[in-house]
Structure 1
C-alpha cells in the first residue's frame, strides 16, 4: 500500500469519527489504567459493568489497596482471569503509592515495570491519557492492519513498528482508536462488513464481502 492510500484512509476515518476514544469508562488516568489492566482477554462492556460498581467504592491506589485481593475480586469476578488480575492490580497500587505518590507515571519504562502492565497496556495509557503518538496493537488493530495492508506483519511488535512509521503524523495520535473501532464494528473478524466500509475502495483485502 502506498503513502497516498494510507493518508486517504485516515482522512476518511477522521471524517467519519473526528474525536475517537476508548470505550472503556473512566474519570482519571488511574481509573483508565485499572480498566485497561482488567480488559485483557475481556470485553470493554464487561469491564465497564465491573468498574461501575467498583469505582464508586474505590477509585484511587489507596482505596483499592485497602480492599485487598479478596475485596477487589468481589467486584471483578465477572471478568475473565479475575484472580490474577486482582493480584496484579493490588501490587500495582502498592507500587504506585511507594514509588510515585499514587500518580500514574507517563513513561513506557515506568508503566511496563508495574505488575500486570505489558507493552500494549502501557501504549494505551501513553496514547489515551497522555496523548503520546504511540500505537497499541490489539487483535482488532492487528487484523485491520494486515487485512487492509496498511501495515503487514507476523507479530504484534512488527505491526506496531510499521504503523508508527507509515501513518501520517497528523493522524498518529488518534489512529489507535480509529483502527480498534473499525475492527470492532466494520472490519470484523469472521465476516467484515465491506459493503458499509468507508475505506472499501482503498483496502487491499482480496476477499471482500458485500455484507452491510
Structure 2
C-alpha cells in the first residue's frame, strides 16, 4: 500500500532525528544513553522514579510541551535519561488535540506542508555536530573541577577565559552550565536547512566521524 504524503513526511522526520541521535552518540557519547536509542521523550513514553521526579520539582507548569520541559529538567540536574529502543508506544493520529502544541498540531503542520509541497526546515547537521563536539569538550573541562583558565574553549564560546572559568566553577551540575550557555545565547543558535538536504548530509557526517573514531 502506497504511503500517504503525511506518513512519508513523518517517516522522513523520524529518519532525520534518528540520524541526529546516531551522530550525537558518536560525538558526545552518553554512557547512560548509548546507541542504539530512539529520539523522543514525550508523555506516553516517559517513566521516572519518584526520587527523580521530586528532585526536579515535578512536572513544569506549562500550557504545552510540559513533557519536553520535564526531560530538560532531568538533564539540568545531570540525571540519567535512557531512550530505550525497546520502548514502543501507540498514540492517536487525531489532528485536533487538547493543547495548542503537541502531536496533533505537528500532524496538521506536516499535512499542510505536504499539500503545499513545502519542505520542513530542520537544524543544520554541521552546526549540530560542532555543538556536540563543543559540549563534550566543555563537559570534560567542567568535570576536571578546573582552577586554570581554558583559553581555547573560551575563544570557541566567545567568552573571556576568566568568565568561562567562573561559570564552570559556579555550576552545580554540567546540565545547569550547558543550559545557561544556551539560554544566554553564548552557544550560537542553530540555523536551519531543508529536511532533504539534512538527510543527505547526516550519513556523510556519520561516516566521516566514524572513520575518525576508528583511526
Specify if TM > 0.5. Answer: no
TM-score by length of 2: 0.25
Q: Which structure is larger by alpha-carbon Rg, 1 or 2?
A: 2
> Which structure ranks higher in relative contact order (CA pairs < 8 Å, sequence separation ≥ 6)?
2
